[in-house]
Structure 1
């Protein structure tokens, strides 16, 4: 399942996979500017978009991508968006930089 894989990339393994639980988890993060909350929101939005796109392609275009292809598209799009961000230097950010294979130049000074 695509969402199960994406949950592991944002540390949401203990959250059930139903939409209400996901939204309930994300609502408190909505206004936070922590790296974890930004990534969680990006991953959720990209996952919704590309899973829905895959659904439409299967219904109307008779084309089908594999689970791994959908995961790669989501990860690629989130990574591209993260490349436009600047982050404060924290342990969580450094872990995220490593996990998403981002350049360390995205880390600014920690004030």
Structure 2
């Protein structure tokens, strides 16, 4: 694969692979491959709902792509290189902030995500919250 391709930059280079492998474990999708089309295909197969796991996967993927792109640009323009751990830490902090901003219904999966990511989310019994009452339906899908 071309070193300047999206596939290489986000999923195949050693730097990105280290980050992506750690994040896959955190979202409980270790089995996903390190190919862009494979990850996109897996995401498309999942039910399109507002479950906490679906939202978490989208946030993680977006944060990962953004931070790797940001690191690439910093290196291209001569700024200091950051280690994988530093970039991973920024991704994790971004995910935590996004999750903490959600208003959700209290479910087992929401509590599990809060514990895993060491955050608190706004728990609501209101019908206007982000997650619907059927929000745990895709948590084990594809695993």
- Aligned match of 1:20 in 34, 37, 40? 37
Residues 23-81 of structure 1: CA distance to partner in whole angstroms, max 9, x if unpaired?
Answer: 11112447310000001000000100000111111122242001110000001011111
Find the aligned partners of 2:72 and 2:106 in 1 and give their Cα distance. Answer: 39
Match of 1:47 in 2: 64
Structure with more of its chain in helix, by fraction: 1
Match of 1:98 in 2: 115
The verdict on how the C-alpha distance between 1:102 and 1:22 changes in structure 2, with shifts beyond 3 A counting, is same
User: Any runs of at least 4 consecutive aligned residues in structure 1 with deviations exceeding 6 A, and if so which?
Assistant: none
* TM-score normalised to structure 2 length: 0.70
Is there any run of 5+ residues in structure 2 with no aligned partner, and where?
1-17, 126-131, 134-143
Aligned residues: 110
Is there any run of 5+ residues in structure 1 with no aligned partner, and where?
none
When Rg is computed on C-alpha atoms for both structures, the one with the higher figure is 2
Find the aligned partners of 1:30 and 1:3 in 2 and give their Cα distance. Answer: 22
RMSD: 1.8
